[in-house]
Structure 1
Amino acid sequence: MASPRRLPRGAGRLTVALLALCLAAPLAAQPSERAARERLDAIGSEIQGVSRRLTTTREAQAEASQGLRRVETALAETHRRLDLLQEEREELGDEIVTLERRRDLLEAERADQVEALNIQLDALYRLGQSPQLKLLLNQDDPARLDRLQHYLNHLSRARNARLDELARLDTALGETRRELDARGERLDALATELAARSSDLAEQMRERAALVADLDSRYASEQVRLTELEQDRAHAERVLRQVQEELARLERPPPSTAIEQTRGDLPWPVQGSVASRFRAGDGVHRNGILIQAAEGTPVRAVHAGRVVFADWMRGFGNLLIIDHGDQVMTLHAHLQQFGVQVGQAVSRGDVLGAVGNSGGHQRPALYFEVRRGGDPIDPQSWIATR
């Protein structure tokens, strides 16, 4: 796996100092749960702000590494937008099917009304012109006169009702046809935008491939590559440990989600083969497990919690961190895109993002890590045995 070059000396200390500064403000004597959550959100926002500022320094990263961050961030947004467009297209397709069924029903109902009206008009025609006058002239049977008059009144009311119903059906049909036209125009616009986004995606993927090849070519040997990966891991360790320490210092820590009670029974974040196990991987993969899965496969939360980080980080690519309370966090790296944002509460099974290969990784996979009290522990001791 290719990886960006190391951060400048002192970058980790800068991250720690900024985090400490952000969280050193005194809390109220008895802060509310809302205040604790806002402080938790501030941690994630500050971490991401520091990460972005570090990448803009002159010596922070090589030009190719800066480009990798830029293009992978753009790729994540393109994938996200494509998914949204596809969802909208599917919803519109369902709406069009519903509208077409409604139109067919209205047209069939209108045809029935027209047929019934024709029957009524035919009955009136058979009575001839001026049937009321004929009835008045026909005085030989008053009972028959009353029955015919009643029949004529009934036909008249029925005819007027049919005409009113036809007018209502015509209005409804007109509205349905206009809605169908509008949906059709929106579908055409979506198709155009999808084509443009797909073209952007192809170009961004070509650019990413060139950047990864450039980064790979800069490693003089396998040992240099491993050294760079270890530096990425060490940088991440400092940042993640500081996050955990500051969370532990909160007067009212994040609420418990009882994750300890589910140990050994948590679901897998994604189904796939384990490419590297705890303490067996290189660099940033050493403290967790790497699960190979098809690109775009949904990644799901293994337990309830709150998103405290969702951004690109050296070595990890698109990294998402969830705090579950009780000093337990889960990390999800190499994501293709994010499905949630910082501060958002998630429940077990919620989609967090999609499997990708961000961070310069060669193959699509999910890196999954569990930390308790800031220390990495074997994720497979927490998730259910398959």
Structure 2
Amino acid sequence: MNPRHLIVGMAFALHLLSVNAYGAQDAAELATIRSKIQQLREQNHVAETNRNRAADALKQSERAISDANRTLFELNQQRNDTELALTQLRNRSQTTHNAIDRQQQELMKLIRQQYFSGQSDTAKLLMNGGNPNQMARNLTYFSYISRARNQLISALQQNLNQLDQLTQAQQQQQARLDQIRQQHQQQRQVLQQQRQIKQQVVQQLGSEIQQQRQQIATLEQNEKRITKLMQDLARAIAKRKAREAAEARKARPIAPHGGPVRQLAQPFTPDTGLGRLKGRLIMPTRGELIHRFGTPREQGGTLWKGLFIKAPAGQPVHSVANGQVVFADWLRGFGNLIIIDHGGGYMSLYSNNETLYKQVGSSVKAGDTIASVGNTGGNSETGLYFELRYQSQAFDPSNWLAR
């Protein structure tokens, strides 16, 4: 019997007893009934708590796994950027080294020319007398040599200074690279620990979680939850756009006669929605399509509101079109979930992910990697669950994706 029904029945019996001034029941029996009612309430509360625990037991570990993977992803990008910067610095250092070698050779050549000419001292040249014309030519020649030598010395000094700066920059980048590698190692340890925690939770509550996911009531609650979330997001987006439009009107320039400056009507830009892209959206990930929109779930009573693409864990998940991330978090029944607003009332939904690479507010382009495939939210199958929605209502994505 349902514990709640039993509680209500016993409470009603207790009420009759109290109205009857206990009737044939004595005070001790009444106390026993009250005690049993309290026990049933506590048992029902524990059962409800356990149901919530089964639904949310993976929340903390799956969030932590996503955060750790995202940090690793960002560290890899930083490492690649640092290695590229270090390579460029090394190339510049080598180029500067080569320039210094050439300048030193040219300087030595000029010094040797002056030395072997025997006329390196200009004052001595003037005191020796001789043909004035030849003397003038010699002075001009030596002035050229002297100017070239000074220019070489100056350029050489600049290159030596630049080489010192490049060496310091290399040392800084190398230290940064070592730090990133250390952080990378630490983050991998965190990831391993969180995966072990998730495995322990699955072992302890795996059957409860799976049973709960198969309950029709749970599936219906999940559908209501995601629909409400999409509606809330749509309202928030509409308010933000209205506020931005109001601010834009306030900032509009004023004409000399006092009214607003008339502006030409702006043409509609189809980039604000998915309408123009029907049949040309990229696939969010590669894999086997095992559940289609509108087909009944195995448990019956509810239909699939999107596509489930079976794929290996860790495989990239891509945004199907340009847009902005408006939700990136764990949600009961959907695991690590990311929602992208494409404008014009269109949104795309990607759930069951192991990792969320993008965060709320991030702008994305078609094909950008936004997540990685997983099996979060208590789902036993590894893959991507994908939906398209217009004004919060799900519709069949099949005809919108490129074949």
Q: After TM superposition, what 4+ stretches of structure 1 lie above 6 angstroms from structure 2?
A: 247-251, 253-256
- Give the equivalent residue in structure 1 for 2:401: 383
Return the TM-score normalized by structure 2.
Answer: 0.71
SS at 2:86 equivalent: helix
Task: For 1:342 and 1:165, locate their aligned partners in 2 and report how far apart those are by CA, in whole Å.
Answer: 51
Asked whether the 8 Å contact 1:254–1:325 carries over to 2, the reply is no
Structure 1's unaligned 5+ residue stretches are 1-57
Bigger shift: 181-190 or 376-385? 376-385
CA separation in 2, counterparts of 1:173 and 1:270?
A: 48
Sequence identity, in percent?
Answer: 30
Amino acid at match of 2:274: I
Q: For residue 276 of structure 1, report the CA deviation from its aligned partner.
A: 2.4
Residue 236 of structure 1, aligned match among 197, 200, 222: 222
1:151 aligns with one of 141, 144, 153: 141
Give 1:227's aligned residue: 214
Out of 255, 259, 278, the residue aligned to residue 263 of structure 1 is 278
Instruction: Summarize the Cα distance change of 1:136–1:262 in structure 2 as closer, same or farther, 3 Å threshold.
Output: closer
Q: Which residue of 109, 120, 126 maps to 1:119?
A: 109
Task: Kindly provide the amino acid, as one letter, of the partner of residue 193 in structure 1.
Answer: Q
In the alignment, structure 1 residue 170 sits paired with structure 2 residue 160: yes
Equivalent-residue separation in structure 2 for 1:250 and 1:62 (angstroms): 28
Answer with 133-142 or 59-68: which moved more.
59-68
- Corresponding residue pairs, total: 324
Contact kept, 8 Å, 1:296 with 1:355, in 2: the verdict is yes
Amino acid at match of 1:186: R
Partner of 2:19: none
Q: What's 2:45 paired with?
A: none
In 1, Cα distance between equivalents of 2:52 and 2:222: 18
- Cross-structure match for 1:189: 179
Decide whether aligned partners of structure 1 residues 323 and 110 sit closer, same or farther in structure 2, where only a CA change above 3 A counts.
closer
| Max Rg structure | 2
Alignment partners' CA distance in 2, 1:290 and 1:325:
24
**What CA RMSD, in Å, does the superposition of the two structures yield over aligned residues?**
3.0
Question: Does the 8 A contact of 1:311 with 1:318 survive in 2?
Answer: yes
The yes-or-no answer on 1:91 pairing with 2:60 is no
CA distance in 2, matches of 1:234, 1:130: 99
Return the alpha-carbon distance in structure 2 between the equivalents of residues 198 and 293 of structure 1. Answer: 23
1:291-331 deviations in Å (ceiling 9; x for gaps): 13343333222234443322211221011223445544321
Between the two structures, name the one with larger relative contact order (CA 8 Å, sep ≥ 6).
1
Instruction: Give the structure 2 partner of residue 8 of structure 1.
Output: none
- The answer on whether the counterparts of 2:55 and 2:333 sit within 8 Å (CA) in structure 1 is no
Paired residue for 1:341?
A: 359
Map 1:26-45 to 2 at 5 A: none
Partner of 2:307: 289
Give the match for residue 339 of structure 2: 321
Q: Secondary structure at the match of 1:274?
A: strand
Q: Which amino acid aligns with 1:366?
A: L
Structure 1 contact 334–361 (Cα < 8 Å) conserved: yes
- Contact kept, 8 Å, 2:318 with 2:368, in 1: the verdict is yes
Note the C-alpha offset of 1:270: 1.6
Aligned AA for 1:275? I
Q: State how far apart, in whole Å, the 2-side matches of 1:141 and 1:248 are.
A: 97
